[in-house]
Every structure is written in C-alpha cells, then in structure tokens.
Amino acid sequence: MRLYIYLLLGAVFFASSCTKYAKGFLSPNIQYLQSNYVISKGRVYNSDAVNPDGSSQPLNITLEHVYDSAGNVMDNIFFKTYPVTTWKAAYNSATDTTLDQITAKQQVQQLPPITLNANSGVITGNFATINLPAGTYSLDEKISNIAGIEMFHNLVSITLVDAPAYQSVPDLGTTYDKLFKVGNESVTANAANPIITIQYLADSPNLIVLKMIDKNGTPFDPKKGEIVQRPNSGVNPIPPYLQCFENYTNSYTYTDTAMLFQYALTPFPFTSLGNGYNLYYRIPTQFFSVSGYPDGEWSANPRLPFRLWIPGVYSITMQFPDLTHK
C-alpha cells in the first residue's frame, strides 16, 4: 500500500512538472493614473505612464483612434503632421543665448500633435496642438507584449484647452515699483504699482518690445541709460545684477523709446535664472520725479513677471502712475 502511494505521488509530481504555462502576462486592467488629462494647446505636455498591472515588460503601445465627445472619429486631424521645432542637441540656457547658438541646435520635424511613448504610454503634446479644436477626446490604444495583443477602447481621455499666449500679472506673479534710497539701499519705499499692458502684434518675427512710460505717457530712453539693470543686494553679490530680458537673449537693441528683444524659442524664458520668471530693472533717480518724495533721493526699481508660450511679436508697456519723466 505504501509503495502504491509513493508511485501515485511520483506520477502526480511528474505530470505537474510537465505542464506548459503560457509565456508572459498581459493584464486586461492596464490603466492610467488619471481618467482624463488636461492639455494646454500650444504647450509641451507629458502625462503619467500607464500602470501595467503586472504585465510582462516590455510593452508596445500605439495610439489607434481618437474620438470627440460625440463619438466621431477624429483620426484625420490627430494623425496629421505639422511642422514642429525640436532639439537635436542639448540646450543650455546659461550659454546658448544668441539666436545662432540656439537655432544651430534646433530642427523642424513633421509631427502629429499628440503621440504616445511606445513603452510607457506617456501621452505627449507638442506645439502643434495649437492646430486642434479645444474639447475632450477619448483614445483607443493597442497594447502588446510577449503574451499577446489587447485593444483598449476609450482607455483614457484628454481635454484640450485654449491657453493664454503668455503669463504675467496676476497668474505668474505680481508687479511693483520699489524705491531704493540713493546711497543707502537698505532703506526702501513702495511707489504705485505699474500698469502692465501686453499686446500681440504679429506672427513673426519672434520679438518682444518693452516700453516704460511715465504717468503722462512719456517714454524712458534706454539708449540714454534711463533704464538699466537692477543691482543685486548685498556686498559683492553673485550675480551682481538681478535677471532681466538681457540675460535670456544676447539679441537685443535699444531705441530711444523701447527695448527690443529677439528670441529663438518658446517658452521664453525657457528656464529661470533665479527668482522665478520675474524681470528686474532700474530707472536712475536723475530721470524722474515721484509723487510724495523729494527729487534726487530715490531710484525706481520695477519688477515684471513674464513668460511667453506662443511665438510672435508682442509689446509690453509698463506705465508708472506716480512717476514723471524729467
């Protein structure tokens, strides 16, 4: 009897050891961390990766179809390619400051506005999303690995929203005009906040025109030194000046009424050199009078928050409600 039991157990072990299992695993429950991702049109965007739910790696993920909220197939506009400026070499905001340096590292490619990373499923939006209608769209994705192929219908949705071409006051920060005591800059006072007016002028070239005017509309002249960089605080500070447009591009010129800055890419500034995306300038004391303060004792030090997302020509005007040009 004991021998029979041993023989039976051996047969069971042999049979189980010969059972063939399928290679790999492809979960039917693959999903994103969110059911919907909001993408600002015209801006670079990356979503989360898919959660593979234990699926064997690597995955191969492709975008198969796109539907609008009414269920209409929108493949014709989502799979269409558009010219998009991309990088062919690493960009360094500290050293790549001339137009020639930047454009030498760029190339124009024909790309669809929305793509998927083939291994992670990350949804990427590029500048070409500016060409798509705002709205909510659902995505069909095909996912495969060593275990097989699965079609995931309406796996995730994206919402394309119209976004402003730039950020400034109040969503990016606040503006001010701070008065510093001449000869003792530890003593400060606040002038009236500048009035910021930003206008889009044309599609090209990529140019920002910055003007600073007094309460009567008289412009300060940067060619005469009436607008200069603002010194950083402290003794022998590094850097010696707070950041301004001149630090983000070497391609600029001054007229007697404005400062003109050429830029090669958006967003501009591409990365911050410090203090967020605030730009700092100074109007020396000899070029203005300020209401309520004696002449010749204070410098005016305006701050402007600004970041541009959509290329083109823009004018920025800062008007000082309590300054009078001399």
Of the chain, the end-to-end C-alpha distance in Å amounts to 116
Is there a contact between 51 and 118 (Cβ–Cβ < 8 Å)?
A: no
Determine the distance from the C-alpha atom of residue 76 to the mean position of all C-alpha atoms in its chain, rounded to a whole number: 27
Q: Which two tokens stand for residue 180?
A: 């510093």
- Would you state the pLDDT for residue 6? 44
Task: Specify the CATH class of 22-161 in words.
Answer: mainly beta
Is there a contact between 64 and 187 (Cβ–Cβ < 8 Å)?
A: no
Boundaries of every domain in the chain: 22-161, 166-325
- Would you state the pLDDT for residue 18? 38
**CA 24 to CA 310: how far, in whole Å?**
46
Which residues of the chain carry a pLDDT beneath 70?
A: 1-22
- Would you state the pLDDT for residue 274? 85
What distance separates the 2 farthest-apart alpha carbons in the chain? 116
**CA 61 to CA 56: how far, in whole Å?**
13
- Would you state the pLDDT for residue 22? 61
With a CB cutoff of 8 Å and minimum separation 6, the contacts of 38 are 158, 159, 161
DSSP codes joined into one string, 125-155: E-GGGGGSPSEEEEEEEEEEETTEEEEEEEE
| Cα torsion 311, 104, 132, 46: sign | negative
Say which residue the tokens 């083109």 belong to: 312
- Would you state the pLDDT for residue 7? 44
User: Which one, of 246, 238, 258, lies nearest residue 314 by Cα?
Assistant: 258
**CA 152 to CA 90: how far, in whole Å?**
36
- Would you state the pLDDT for residue 15? 41
Q: Which two tokens stand for residue 224?
A: 């005469």
Q: Which two tokens stand for residue 26?
A: 């492809």
- Would you state the pLDDT for residue 4? 45
With a CB cutoff of 8 Å and minimum separation 6, the contacts of 29 are 53
3 state SS of 182: coil
Determine the distance from the C-alpha atom of residue 167 to the mean position of all C-alpha atoms in its chain, rounded to a whole number: 10
